[in-house]
Amino acid sequence: MDEIDIRIRVATIEDRELILSFISQKANFDRYPQPLEITIDKLGQTLFAQPPLAQVLLAQINNVAVGFALFSYAYSSFLAQPTLWVGDLYVQPLMRGKGIGTALLQRLAQIAEEANCGRLEWTVADCNTRAIAFYKKYGTQVLDVRLCRIEQSVISQLAGKRSHKRFTASQK
């Protein structure tokens, strides 16, 4: 197999359409059942805000983007250290098996190390056995945990609820 030159770069605001395309491709691959609510404007407001809520790496071959990784920082109370959370890691199907996922994962590990992160974490679907095998090849522990999610409409509903109990200062 010939060696290919893979370039990993940080996405810029000019890459919003490309990022939107990759997120759509990943949603399709993951069989995401709901319509995406993502827009070019939302990407601009969140990924390129100061400070950004998340960052994107693009993997390129011959100046053509063929994969991406979206990441942000979280905090581990158990470690008292930051964690690099990978929201998405995706390589286009025809480009898989060429070292692109490895290059993205290596760059994420470098970023995590530079930020003194105690962990690099993400989720993977149980049915994505190819990805699980790929991750395990690099020493990844695949944990038996469940992702919990509250959608925005329920967040608003939950945030508006008030406790029925009223607490008052005790009187002497």
Mean pLDDT by runs of 10 across the 172 residues of the chain is 86 97 94 90 93 96 97 96 97 95 97 97 91 93 88 88 53 47
User: What φ, ψ does residue 130 adopt, rounded to 5°?
Assistant: -65, -45
pLDDT at 146: 83
Q: CATH 3.40.630.30: does it fit domain 6-143?
A: yes
Of 53, 60, 49, which is closest to residue 13 (Cα–Cα)? 49
Cα gap 126→95, rounded to integer Å: 22
Give the tokens for residue 130: 């190819």
The whole-model pTM stands at 0.87
pLDDT at 172: 46
pLDDT at 2: 64
Asked whether the bond before 51 is cis by omega within 30 degrees of 0, the reply is yes
Q: How many Cβ atoms sit within 10 Å of the Cβ of residue 108?
A: 20
pLDDT at 169: 55
Q: How far is CA 60 from CA 1, 22, 24, 78, in A?
A: 18, 13, 18, 36
Mark 25-53 as b/e (b = at least 16 C-beta within 10 Å).
bbbeeeeeeeeeeeeeeebeeebbeeeee
Is residue 39 helix, strand or coil? coil
pLDDT at 32: 87
90 Ramachandran zone, left/alpha/beta (phi>0; psi -120 to 50): beta
pLDDT at 167: 46
User: What φ, ψ does residue 63 adopt, rounded to 5°?
Assistant: 65, 20
Among residues 32, 73, 75, 135, the one annotated as catalytic is 135
User: Any catalytic annotation for residue 138?
Assistant: no
Strands 64-76 and 119-121: unpaired
- Domains of the chain, by residue range, sit at 6-143
